[in-house]
């Protein structure tokens, strides 16, 4: 809707007031998983990494740097997933939601 309002004070120009409904067209964000590192079993994580160190040194001694990094990163993510408790966060409020079900359950 458009309205013409009288001028402010002693001005000689009218005020044009225009209202319209617009949408921003964004899709609502989904809850995304996060890891609760405060609740991580760090003793188990350290033990698993020490075990992996032996395997890493034995099996990847003659590999290139990219292969070593890829292997290490994969193992680190796998251990992180298995030792930390996943949860979800509400993207709008930033608050924690319900625990994320594990793949095996």
Query: DSSP 3-state assignment of 46?
Result: helix
Q: What is the pTM of this model?
A: 0.52
Residue 104: what pLDDT?
46
**To which residue do tokens 């996943």 refer?**
86
Residue 105: what pLDDT?
43
The DSSP symbol for 10 reads T
What is the full DSSP assignment across 47-77? HHHHHHHHHHHHHSTTS-HHHHHHHHHHHHH
The enclosing H or E element of 9 equals none
Question: Higher model confidence: residue 88 or residue 28?
Answer: 28
pLDDT, tens only, 16-55: 998 888 887 777 777 777 777 787 888 988 998 898 888 8
The DSSP symbol for 41 reads -
* d(C-alpha 90, C-alpha 84), whole Å: 19
């Amino acid at each position: 809707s458009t309205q013409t309002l009288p001028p402010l004070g002693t001005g000689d120009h009218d005020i044009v007031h225009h209202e319209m409904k617009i949408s921003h067209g964004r899709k609502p964000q989904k809850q995304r998983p996060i890891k609760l590192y405060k609740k991580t079993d760090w003793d188990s994580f350290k033990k698993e990494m020490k075990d992996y160190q032996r395997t890493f040194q034995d099996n990847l001694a003659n590999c290139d740097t990219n292969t070593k990094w890829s292997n290490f990163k994969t193992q680190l993510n796998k251990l992180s997933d298995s030792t930390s408790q996943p949860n979800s966060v509400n993207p709008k409020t930033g608050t924690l939601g319900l625990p994320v079900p594990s793949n095996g359950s």
